[in-house]
Chain A
Amino acid sequence: MTAAHVTAPGTERIAEAFARAHADGRRAALMPYMMAGYPDVERSREIAAAYVDGGADLIELGIPFSDPLADGPVIHAAAVAALEAGATLHECLTVAAAVAERVPVILMSYINPILARGVERFCDELVATGVCGLIVPDLPREESGLVTAACAARGLALVPLVAPTTPPDRMTEIVAAATGFIYTVAVTGTTGERTGSDGDVPALLARVRGDARVPVALGFGISTPEQASAAAAAGAEGVIVGSRFVRAAGEADAVAIGELVRAFATALR
């Protein structure tokens, strides 16, 4: 499952993916999220390939966790189903390995599975699998020292989240330390499909982009191609779509999921 000839550091591969999307005429890079091991490991490998075929520029790969505090009902249920189907960390990494040579894969994991594995060992396994970066939704800046050091030593991006509630001084600190890209949370809330946002997203994005030295992506609540297009228009350099695709993973086959990804990719032209 190793991807030995992918030798560039994860942070560089992520930067290249954003630049390539831009050069290809995309207004923003498309980063669909998927739950590893959902509906089962074999089908999630097919879904990852369908994401790439459909035009994903990067993939955010969720590691299932029993108690996902930042996630709404769709992703929570997918995590529970993946665990019930027997998804282990090892098997989840085989999903990453299946596409890691084609697009950058950023792993999304809550902190406890990382601590259970051991931070250093976990990061070693990401590098061995060809994963480019890590998002830990319950690891704020105050608690991130060990993970930051382990990622930095391996060229892995540790992507921070900023939220509409993040005050200006704190935002400046988070943005300054970011590697890979910055994950801007569009809503005050958990993940899930929404018909609108609850605040001034363009102003939030402008605030984040002001100090940023890495691309700024937007996620949470983006569930239609029109919303993805609006996110790009609002200044997002990357668009993350989660619950909509996870729902599709439970309802549709890989071909239909690939078509759905293509609809979002087209909307970002």
Chain B
Amino acid sequence: MMRYVARRLLWGAALLLLVCALTFVLFFLLPSGDPAALRAGRDASPETLARVREQLRLDEPVWVQFWTYVKGVVLHFDLGYSYYSSAPVSTLLWDRLPATIALALGAAVVWLAIATPIGILSALRRRSWLDRVFMGGALIAISAPVYWVGLLALYLFADDIGRFPLLPGANSYVPLTDDPGAWFGSLLLPWLVLAGAFAGIYARLLRTSLTETMSQDFVRTARAKGISESRVVVRHGVRVAITPVVTLLGVDLGVLLGGALLTEAVFNIPGIGRLGLDAIVYADFPVIQGTVLLAALFVVLANLVVDVVYAFLDPRVRYA
């Protein structure tokens, strides 16, 4: 197992290097704002612009910039400075990371808490009115755009502009370390909104997977042994049926940890997604590179964790 993990980590590092190179190539090949001009301002003379470009090392060939960047990251964990705000990129990322982690993990807990019982109930009572209500609701939740649901949730429930002022609204995010109660309250609406669509997807997936699992021979055998139905469902059925859910969870969490942009935007949660979007708007390349690398790192790690978890969930899986 350790050799497997080490091998995956090495591949992950290679992948990150590739992502880094691709980001460089894309930024410099595709049309975007000129970072030197954006920093120096519209009235800057050609001489000033040239000096700023030189100062930011934008006058060097792309491969030299790439090499300097990779060297800085690998040797010093130095992600550079934002062209836009002059702040160290690592400071910006560390500042945004807690909010993104809180949003993604909290929403995952909510959607799993909603989807798991619904998926199991729907699978066990297929074609019942309960199944139809649950799956119909899931379809609606999947179809509703997060941005729209977020705005409606605010207009309904936010304690400042809502018709039914129940929960803290946009711009109320407080770091956990400042005030745990306020932190929890500020994330309730975002968790619900972000979890809505995911809950629908996961419920449908679990329903399908469990339906198929419950018709397998080993389930029939378990029943024949006289094991209670609840134990058959939980210990034999769900344990196997949950495997594709874990796969999807790994991918989704990896992506969300790279930034849940729409939810962050609607609720003004200062996360990685928002940071990345602003960096693109301002052609702030060091920050773009930092956010992309972080998102890629999360996807790599999440997939690795998922593969390791397989071994514990499914006895048939073994890693050499």
Partners in one complex: no
Interface residues of B (CB under 8 A from A): none
